[in-house]
Chain A
Amino acid sequence: MKIILKNDSQLHLSINEDLYNENVLFKCFYWYGSDYNIDIDKNKKQYVVIITSKSSTKIDHDHLLLKIKQDLIDFKLRDIVTKETKNIRELLTAKAFAHFQTDENPLTEISDPVGFDPTKF
Chain B
Amino acid sequence: MVSVIEKKNRKFKEIDYYQNNELTNYFLLPFRFQKINSNKEILVNEVGDFLLVPIGTAEKIILKKITKSENETLYFDLISSFFISEEAIPPLLNVLEARYRTKKSFLDQFTALHIFVISLRCEHTCHYCQVSRVTENKDQFDMSLYNIDEGIKIMMKSPNPHVTMEFQGGEALLAFNNIKYAVLKAKEEALLNEKHITFVICTNLAPLTDDMLPFIKEHNIMISSSLDGPAFIHNQNRHRPQRNSYEVTIEGLKKCRENLGEDNISALLTTTNLSLDYPGEIVDEYVQQGFRNIFLRPISPYGFATYNEKKNKYQTEKFLAFYKAAFEKIIDYNIQGYYIREDYATVILKKILTPFPVGYVDLQSPAGMINNVIVFNYDGKIYASDEARMLAEMNDFTFQLGTLGKSTYNDIFYGEKAMKISESWANESLAGCSECAFQPYCGADPVLNYATQGNMYGYRPTSVFCQKNMEIIRYLFDLMEDKSIEKLFRSWITGHSE
Contacts and interface: CB of A to CB of B under 8 A. Distances in A.
B187 to A, nearest CB: 34
Interface stretch (B89-97, B178-186, B197-205): B89-97
Interface string B30-62: 111100000000000010000000000011001
A68 interface: no
Interface stretch (A10-18, A40-48, A85-93): A85-93
B5 A27 contact: no
Interface in A53-99: 73-75, 77-78, 80-82, 84-85, 88-89, 91-93, 95-97
Contacts of A118: 2
A88 B2 contact: no
Range of interface residues on chain A?
35 or more
Contact of A33 (B4, B32, B58, B461): B461
A95 B89 CA distance: 13
Interface string A91-112: 1110111000001010101111
Contacts of A32: 461
Contacts of B315: none
**Which of A33, A34, A75, A77: most chain B CB closer than 10 A?**
A34
A71 B159 CA distance: 45
Given A33-B459, A78-B435, A112-B8, A92 B100 contact: yes
Nearest to B90: A88
Contacts of A96: 97-98, 100-101, 104
Nearest to A33: B461
A119 B98 CA distance: 24
Nearest to A95: B97
A95 B94 contact: yes
A82 B62 CA distance: 11
Given A91-B93, A111-B2, A30 B461 contact: yes
B115 to A, nearest CB: 29
Contacts of A33: 459, 461-462
B432 A31 contact: yes
B60 to A, nearest CB: 10
B4 A115 contact: yes
A96 to B, nearest CB: 4
A115 B7 CA distance: 10
B219 to A, nearest CB: 38
Contacts of A111: 2-5
Given A34-B461, A78-B435, A81-B62, A113 B27 contact: no
Nearest to B9: A113
A31 B463 CA distance: 11
A107 B3 CA distance: 11
B1 interface: yes
A60 to B, nearest CB: 19
Interface in B414-437: 431-432, 435
B240 interface: no
Contact of B2 (A81, A92, A110): A110
Contacts of A88: 29-30, 89-90, 93
Contacts of A115: 4-5
A92 B1 contact: no
Nearest to A70: B35
A84 B31 CA distance: 11
Given A30-B431, A33-B461, A84-B28, A105 B1 contact: yes
Contacts of B29: 85, 88
Contacts of B30: 81, 85, 88-89, 92
A118 B93 CA distance: 22
Interface string B172-216: 000000000000000000000000000000000000000000000
Contacts of B461: 30-34
B12 to A, nearest CB: 15
B309 interface: yes
A85 B28 CA distance: 6
Contacts of A81: 28, 30-32, 62
B297 interface: no
A109 B432 contact: no
Centre residue among B1, B2, B62, B97 by max chain A CB count within 10 A: B2
B460 interface: yes
Interface in B374-415: none
B101 A97 contact: yes
Contacts of A109: 2-3, 5
A80 B27 CA distance: 12
Given A30-B460, A85-B30, A119-B2, 9 more contacts: A31-B460, A34-B461, A75-B435, A77-B62, A91-B93, A96-B98, A109-B5, A113-B5, A113-B7
7 contacts: A32-B461, A85-B29, A89-B30, A91-B93, A92-B93, A105-B1, A109-B2
Top 4 A-B pairs, shortest CB-CB distance? A34-B461, A115-B4, A85-B30, A96-B101
Interface of A: 27, 30-34, 73-75, 77-78, 80-82, 84-85, 88-89, 91-93, 95-97, 103, 105, 107, 109-119
